[in-house]
Amino acid sequence: MNSYFTEYENLEVHELMLKDRPRQEAYKNAILKNKELFKDKVVLDVGAGTGILSAFCAQAGARLVYAVEASNLATKVALDLIEDNGLTEVVKVIHSQIEEFVLPATAEKVDIIVSEWMGFYLLHEGKLDSVLYARDHFLKPDGQMFPSECTIYVSPCSVPTLFDYWQNIDGVNMERFASKLRLQKSTRPEIAHLKPEDLLHEGIVFHWMNLMDVDAKELDEIRFKEVVSTQTAGKHQGFCIWFDVRFPGDETVTLSTSPHAPETHWKQCVVVLPEENCEILEEKSPVAFQILMKRNANDSRKYNLEVELLDPNIEEHPVPCSCHMTKCILTEAHLKMMDTS
């Protein structure tokens, strides 16, 4: 069996997810507060894990739930959970990769696909590919995806845990140690909890997807270039990346991994800048950058993240732009005059 699925047989991985209250509450509320969408419907749970999302669907009134899980967790845990909760008539646990799953010969396609597929910075682990495969092969044309929309955000930020923290450790300056530590960590993003005050901007949309129509090939490379104006003064030491997912229904539910939201096990993804590129910025300073999120050629479940700082004097700014550069101040003033005339 693929080592990726074997790793999910570690119950501590599921303990971490099940103790993530924002995650749990988002899925529970999205399903149980929209019972009218699930009543008498056929549901496919892709990567069912312990089976808890399948149980929510059954409790919401689903007629039939296919709980498809590739790891041995299907037979070791999910079956027990479904039996212990008296849901065996509704939930059918199937030990299979979704790409090898086949609907019964006489069965109709499913009304709803439910899956908790998100990884760090949304796309890490590449599980969305399997969810989209399920959508293309098993979902009715008028079916629904839970979640249905995803947004990735980015903001310039400070990273005090890798910089300021080391200025004074019990009265001892350890900045040179911190410099070596950052160098050691420089080949991969930092997964960390940032505080709202660490952000220099509220966050700009880096990428948005509707899961009903996104194509898996679109996930191979995502490129984004922008100039943002800092909304607060501070030390620019990196870029913070996080995501939100939104669920369908009259009772709209959003699961956010923003520094402004309650902490989740996803935390945030931070790309730390080399020391020579770090600087103290005033409010309304322009930060020009380009981000490339590209699937790893050797491991399709991983992505390479590249951040390039650009020259804000050369790059085109959004209109209007609130930064302190003269051209943007004049443009903003001109637009305000047009607005009042």
Name the residues annotated as catalytic: 116, 125
The residue type of 181 is L
CA–CA distance, 227 with 216 (Å, rounded to integer): 28
CA–CA distance, 306 with 97 (Å, rounded to integer): 31
**H/E run at residue 79:** helix 79-84
Structure tokens belonging to residue 308: 């390039």
The three-class DSSP label of residue 326 is helix
Structure tokens belonging to residue 324: 């302190």
Residue 120 · residue 99 · CB < 8 Å:
no
Q: Report residue 90: phi and psi, to 5°.
A: -105, -45
Q: Report residue 60: phi and psi, to 5°.
A: -80, -5
Vertex 199 angle, CA 194 and 202, to 5°:
120
